[in-house]
């Protein structure tokens, strides 16, 4: 278990415990964090689990596949720090990670 802080677009913080080897998306869904829809359940097929992750975490997080990049490219609120939560597996190194959510996933 590591502590991840999910931050809603309005600034509301949700610090929760997330299992290692699950995904950032699953951590949000199983803890009922609003702001991540995850329609396809983690198949990288829908782009409704976008989160923003600060640059300082870049080295600790797996890099992005072309597939993920293409899906993100069409998200209305895409920024440079965007990732799909379902594509990032949680590791021990994520303790204290802050992920921010967009105003909407659609």
Site for other proteins in 37-66 (CB under 8 A): 37, 39-41, 43-47
List all residues 6 or more positions away from 37 whose beta carbon is below 8 Å from its beta carbon: 46, 48, 49, 105, 106
Total residues binding other proteins (CB under 8 A): 20
Nearer to other proteins, 86 or 99 (CB): 86
26 binds other proteins (CB under 8 A): yes
What's the angle, vertex CA 28, arms to CA 15 and CA 91, rounded to 5? 80
DSSP H helices in the chain: 24-30, 66-73
89 binds other proteins (CB under 8 A): no
Nearer to other proteins, 39 or 95 (CB): 39
């Amino acid at each position: 278990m590591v502590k991840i802080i999910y931050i809603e677009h309005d600034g509301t913080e949700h610090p929760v415990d997330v299992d290692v080897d699950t995904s950032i998306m699953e951590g949000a869904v199983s803890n009922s964090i609003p702001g991540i829809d995850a329609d396809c359940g983690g198949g990288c097929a829908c782009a409704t689990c976008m989160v923003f992750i600060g640059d300082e975490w870049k080295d600790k997080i797996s890099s992005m596949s072309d597939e993920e990049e293409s899906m993100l490219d069409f998200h209305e609120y895409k920024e440079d720090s965007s990732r799909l939560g379902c594509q990032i597996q949680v590791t021990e190194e994520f303790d204290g990670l802050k992920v921010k959510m967009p105003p909407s996933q659609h």
